[in-house]
Amino acid sequence: MSAKMKRREFITLVGGAAAWPLTARAQQPGKLPTIGYLGAGTSASESQRVAAFKERLHQLGWIEGRTIAIESRWVEGRSDRASEIARELVRLKVDIIVTSGTPQVIALKQATSVIPIVSPTMGDPVGAGLIASLARPGGNVTGLSLLQPDLGGKRLEVLREVVPGLRRLAILGNFSNPPIAQELREVQAAADRLGVEVATIEIRRAEDIRPAFDALKGADALYLANDQLILSNRTRINIMALVARLPTIYNSREYVEEGGLVSYGPNFVDLFRRAADFVDKILRGAKPGDIPVEQPTKFELVINLTTAKALGLTVPPTLLARADEVIE
């Protein structure tokens, strides 16, 4: 296909987006359909994810300021703010709300049973009572579920390959978050099988991180049960872990790109990209309750060799061979 033809098709697609029928626009002539974005972290911590989401929307013909408007609000890792922001977005009468993480979806669900909610990163939405089933969500929530049995156990096995002398494992996270509580149970079960002693340290605010590290003495490695609080503070956590000589394992490459040792889990940037397709379907008239909730299809193992060397660790060649990316 020639560049000229591609350009013509793109212009047709963009032009077509403005003409798609929208109930919201019919009710409010001249108003662009509005996406409310409830960011669980900060604009900086979620920048890669939001950029992928907007890029995919653009590919589908939705251009911010021209064919859609986006109202963004940030929880900044403070879970108490989610309900307040949820109510604000409902008052703004946005057409769709996008958010990440089960606690934020719960806050939105409590604020509205009408406005469609799309989340790229729900834990167990059925178990949390957010949807009826993955195939037929019902209600106003859809998106992607991260529920994958025993991912926590697999991460521990990977960590043990990097730290063969692992005997004492510290787990850091906000265990009031339902998916993290489930992950903790998986890691504990795997630790029991492997003969690894586990110490759990809970953090709920950024102010809890420093005292948590003071309590980590004696641990051989650190397992981060990730949520937006840890995402928002990942650079600080990685520096503190390096100073404490603690190997770390995470659920996403974003942490390893900024100095974490190893990650195993879905590509979160890809999940945000996929969430744009859900938004597109709803803007075209689909009901969220009729759109099946999807799950990650790709899991990545990412290793930071620079961090390994700084910790004096030798990563086994067999593990390096399995890695999707090695950062040097």
**pLDDT digits over 60-86, tens only?**
999 999 999 999 999 986 777 999 999
- 169 and 294 co-located in one domain: no
**How far apart, in whole angstroms, are the C-alpha atoms of residue 13 and residue 9?**
6
Question: Helix or strand or coil: residue 94?
Answer: coil
- DSSP symbol at 120: E
Q: Are 39 and 103 in contact (CB under 8 A)?
A: no
If asked whether residues 255 and 273 sit together in one domain, one would say no
| 3-state DSSP assignment of residue 266 | strand
Q: Total domain count for the chain?
A: 2
Residues 278 and 117 sit within 8 Å (Cβ to Cβ): no
Q: Which amino acid is at 154?
A: K
Residues 160 and 247 in one domain: yes
Is 215 a residue whose pLDDT tops 50? yes
My answer on whether 186 and 282 are in the same domain is no
- How many helices (H) and strands (E) are present in the chain, helices listed first? 14, 12
For the cut 60, the answer to whether the pLDDT of residue 25 exceeds it is no
Mean pLDDT of the 209-217 span: 91
Least confident of 12-21, 173-182, 266-275, 296-305: 12-21
What whole-number distance in Å separates Cα of residue 217 and Cα of residue 120?
Answer: 36
Please tell me whether residues 182 and 283 are part of one structural domain. Answer: no
Please state, in angstroms and rounded to a whole number, the distance separating the CA atoms of residues 135 and 159: 34
210 and 163 in a common domain: yes
Looking at the structure, tell me whether residues 157 and 142 fall in a common domain.
Answer: no
Question: Range of 309's domain?
Answer: 151-266+300-327
Quick one: angle between helices 151-162 and 178-194, nearest 10?
50
Cβ(61)–Cβ(17) under 8 Å?
yes
Cα distances (Å, whole numbers) of residue 262 to 57, 237, 327: 31, 14, 10
Residue 137 Cα to chain centre, angstroms: 20
CATH label of the domain that carries residue 178: 3.40.50.2300
Identify whether residues 262 and 273 lie together within a single domain.
Answer: no
Q: Are 101 and 7 in the same domain? A: yes
**Pair 130, 74 in one domain:** yes
Q: What is the pLDDT of residue 30?
A: 63
Give per-residue pLDDT as tens, 277-315. 999 999 999 999 999 999 998 899 999 999 999 999 999
Answer yes or no: do 171 and 289 share one domain.
Answer: no
Residue in this structure with the two tokens 């990685």, named with its chain if needed:
238
CA–CA distances in Å: residue 289 to residues 9, 172, 234, 271, 294: 32, 35, 35, 19, 13
Residue 165 has pLDDT above 70, yes or no: yes
Looking at the structure, do residues 274 and 130 belong to the same domain, yes or no? yes
